[in-house]
């Protein structure tokens, strides 16, 4: 389905340890629940949407989930009971921060028993611990992870931490066996490596462990830090020497090449396949495109292809066209029929368009329909169209792309009268597009329905989008053309 060059394949093998390592980062601070298997590659890649793709040094995207374990510091044991994620990129051996800055989610884990017994600081029955990165994580045969842990309670103030950037909890996690100082004894982790989506995504399920790290004392606790710090340290047994602390985290980590995320996640796209830039090497012209054919569907593994993909419409963005006979029918068999119509609009982005529809010759058994002065004519308000997959191309499955036509604002597509009855059409409709991955001036869009139910009612990923006429679910059947001012292509294959 998608080609990959040899260096990338090699980097995947070398990255398996890094992938495993990244699980540790999420693990340390907390918990994450593993997702069930999902059929769509694009849906699986959604979790990598905050990968720092604009950073050219980030060759991989990672997303980690931890589902169980515990984090022991001094006298306190904090079980992993809430989901926490770590996401971002990898520039080996370093983790690159996530695009939105939320590399390690700030999930507060309850401290069992709180800090009951510290009378000077009030009621500590609801204390939480939140792990934060205190530096840059380094990923190799082990995971070197600097952390600080924030303790939260109304009387602790906003700056009560165990550890800091200057003196972090320095963990070195492993899937192997630890070698801690006494009194701790060696413990072992485990890892199972697999792939999914035809090998595109590497998955590691396992347990990371470390029980050889030291924990510094608390600082910044309450408005009287010296009193608060002393009380917390006394209650928690801090500072705690190496050999008295433990981290055990079990979960799932996924890694994927950043280039695949950048290629697949935005699809499907409106755009153009154009001649790539070139340069002369001696007497030979060398092209620098990523595609080897004029439809931009065959990747060039050496980036010497003659063609390149440019998302979005060109300088001339407008289109217009005609609609074949229209049937709008509810599940209760209310029927509006139109002899035809027209559409007009423009491409507004790589995945979007704006348009209006005018239906003509419209009537019901009770009489002619109209939304203005012209009998039989129904005009919609401003509409938007958005591309998405009905079926993604995986294996031998050919891609099917549809456009979701919905009101530009609100829920109403059109208001009109049929005979003496006022009608309102609301909701949205998904209509398949006949051809993709081929440049054409005209696009054919066919909406189909049966007994008032649209076919399909949803994209491969996402909620149901349906129409409603007079409060009843309705389906639309018609074929529309969009003839552009210039040719355009819908790209569905990376």
CA 293 centroid distance within chain? 29
Give tens-digit pLDDT for 61-75: 999 888 889 999 999
Token look-up 């139109």 returns 338
What confidence category does residue 30 fall into, taking pLDDT thresholds of 50, 70 and 90? Answer: very low
**pLDDT higher than 90, residue 214:** yes
Give the pLDDT score at 31.
31
- Quote the mean pLDDT of the chain: 86
Mean pLDDT value across residues 421-428 = 95
What confidence category does residue 394 fall into, taking pLDDT thresholds of 50, 70 and 90? Answer: low
Of 119-123, 264-268, 305-309, 419-423, minimum mean pLDDT range: 119-123
Nearest to 238 by CA among 116, 29, 76, 71: 76
Q: How many CB atoms lie within 10 A of CB 450?
A: 10
**pLDDT higher than 80, residue 26:** no
Q: Where are the domains of the chain?
A: 6-261, 276-311, 318-491
**pLDDT higher than 70, residue 33:** no
**pLDDT higher than 70, residue 362:** yes
Token couple for 348: 């507004």
**pLDDT higher than 90, residue 186:** yes
**pLDDT higher than 90, residue 36:** no
**pLDDT higher than 60, residue 13:** no
**pLDDT higher than 70, residue 123:** no
- Which residues, including other chains, have CB under 8 Å from residue 155's CB and lie 6 or more apart? 121, 122, 123, 124, 222
Q: How many CB atoms lie within 10 A of CB 72?
A: 18
**pLDDT higher than 90, residue 38:** no
The answer to whether the Cα torsion of 475, 477, 478, 484 is positive or negative is positive
Q: How, if at all, do strands 318-323 and 472-491 pair? A: antiparallel
Spatial contact of 215 and 179, defined as CB atoms under 8 Å apart: no
Nearest to 145 by CA among 66, 49, 33, 233: 66
Q: What percent of the chain has pLDDT over 90?
A: 59
What confidence category does residue 165 fall into, taking pLDDT thresholds of 50, 70 and 90? Answer: very high
**pLDDT higher than 70, residue 10:** no
Mean pLDDT value across residues 246-258 = 92
* CA pair distance 43, 264, nearest whole angstrom: 10
Q: How far apart are the first and last CA of the chain?
A: 9
Q: What are phi and psi of 261, to 5 degrees?
A: -60, -45
Nearest to 411 by CA among 421, 396, 426, 431: 426
**Size of the chain in residues:** 494
Token couple for 487: 């040719």
* CA pair distance 28, 253, nearest whole angstrom: 13
Of 99-113, 313-327, 402-416, 420-434, minimum mean pLDDT range: 99-113
Of 32-36, 213-217, 487-491, minimum mean pLDDT range: 32-36
C-alpha torsion 376→379→385→389, nearest 10: -20
Predicted structure pTM score: 0.69
Give the pLDDT score at 8.
41
Mean pLDDT value across residues 421-450 = 95
Give the pLDDT score at 197.
86
Mean pLDDT value across residues 152-164 = 88
Give the pLDDT score at 339.
98
**pLDDT higher than 70, residue 287:** yes
């Amino acid at each position: 389905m998608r080609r990959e060059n040899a260096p990338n394949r090699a980097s995947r093998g070398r990255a398996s340890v890094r992938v495993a390592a990244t699980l540790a980062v999420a693990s340390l601070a907390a918990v994450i629940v593993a997702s069930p298997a999902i059929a769509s590659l694009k849906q699986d890649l959604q979790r990598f949407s905050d990968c720092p793709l604009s950073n050219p040094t980030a060759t991989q995207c990672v997303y980690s989930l931890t589902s169980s374990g515990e984090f022991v510091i001094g006298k306190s044991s904090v079980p992993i009971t809430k989901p926490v994620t770590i996401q971002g990129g990898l520039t080996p051996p370093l983790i690159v921060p996530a695009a939105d800055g939320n590399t390690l989610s700030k999930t507060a884990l309850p401290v069992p028993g709180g800090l009951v017994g510290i009378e000077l600081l009030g009621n500590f029955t609801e204390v939480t611990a939140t792990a934060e990165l205190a530096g840059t994580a380094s990923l190799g045969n082990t995971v070197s992870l600097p952390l600080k842990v924030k303790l939260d309670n109304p009387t602790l103030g906003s700056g009560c931490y165990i550890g800091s950037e200057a003196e972090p909890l320095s963990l070195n996690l492993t899937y192997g066996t630890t070698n801690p100082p006494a009194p701790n004894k060696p413990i072992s982790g485990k890892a199972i490596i697999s792939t999914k989506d035809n090998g595109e995504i590497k998955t590691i399920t396992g347990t990371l462990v470390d029980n050889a790290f030291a924990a510094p004392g608390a600082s910044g606790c309450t408005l009287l830090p010296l009193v608060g710090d002393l009380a917390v340290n006394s209650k928690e047994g801090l500072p705690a020497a190496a050999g008295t602390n433990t981290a055990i985290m079990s979960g799932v980590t996924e890694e994927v090449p950043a280039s695949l995320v950048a290629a697949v996640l935005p699809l499907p796209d409106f755009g153009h396949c154009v001649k790539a830039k070139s340069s002369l090497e001696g007497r030979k012209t060398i092209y620098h495109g990523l595609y080897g054919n004029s439809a931009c569907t065959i990747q060039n593994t050496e980036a010497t292809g003659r063609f390149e993909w440019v998302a979005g419409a060109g300088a001339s963005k407008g289109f217009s066209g005609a609609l074949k006979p229209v049937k709008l029918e509810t599940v209760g068999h209310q029927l509006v029929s139109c002899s035809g119509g027209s559409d007009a609009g423009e491409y507004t982005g790589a995945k979007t368009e704006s348009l209006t529809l005018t239906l003509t010759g419209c009537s019901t058994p009770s009489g002619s329909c109209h939304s203005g002065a012209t009998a039989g004519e129904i005009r919609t308000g401003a509409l938007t169209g958005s591309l998405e997959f009905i079926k993604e191309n995986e294996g031998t499955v050919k891609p099917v792309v549809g456009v979701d036509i919905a009101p530009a604002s609100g829920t109403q597509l059109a208001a009109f009268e049929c005979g003496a009855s006022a009608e309102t059409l609301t909701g949205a409709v998904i209509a398949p597009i006949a051809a993709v991955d081929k440049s054409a001036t005209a696009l054919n869009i066919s909406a189909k329905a049966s007994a008032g139910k649209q076919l399909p009612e949803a994209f491969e990923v996402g909620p149901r989008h349906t129409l409603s006429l007079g409060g009843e679910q309705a389906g639309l059947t018609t074929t529309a053309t969009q003839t552009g001012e210039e040719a355009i292509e819908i790209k569905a294959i990376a």
